[in-house]
Structure 1
């Protein structure tokens, strides 16, 4: 059993799927890089939200919102 399968077994995904607001190209333009495949899988499987009032999963935001949305800060490498 893969780690992803184990997570899905332990934490059932929501019935409603989350529709990504940004295309992969928009993410690269905004963040200067592709986002990790595991993060993208997590977003596709669970969508944004909070796990056990402990871990907040935030969706990627458009380039013009980076630095303006709480918790989403520009990297020094891309400033």
Structure 2
């Protein structure tokens, strides 16, 4: 029982984060891309990555854990 409580949110986090980064790459959404690289007009460059998919993954993982625990509590009661 404890193992499922640990693994379900981890798997949901990994899948959610991966899907969001994939969507950012496929549809060219800057706020969902893993790595952004741009050349500036003065010959320099800027780069960076987005943490939005990671944050969304954590939130969805916590929600999945809460739902799993509440359903499990209702089944045992």
After TM superposition, the score normalised by the length of structure 2 is 0.24
After TM superposition, the score normalised by the length of structure 1 is 0.23
**RCO higher in 1 or 2 (8 Å CA, sep ≥ 6)?**
2
User: Of Structure 1 and Structure 2, which has the larger fraction of its residues in helix?
Assistant: 2
> Larger Rg: 1 or 2?
2
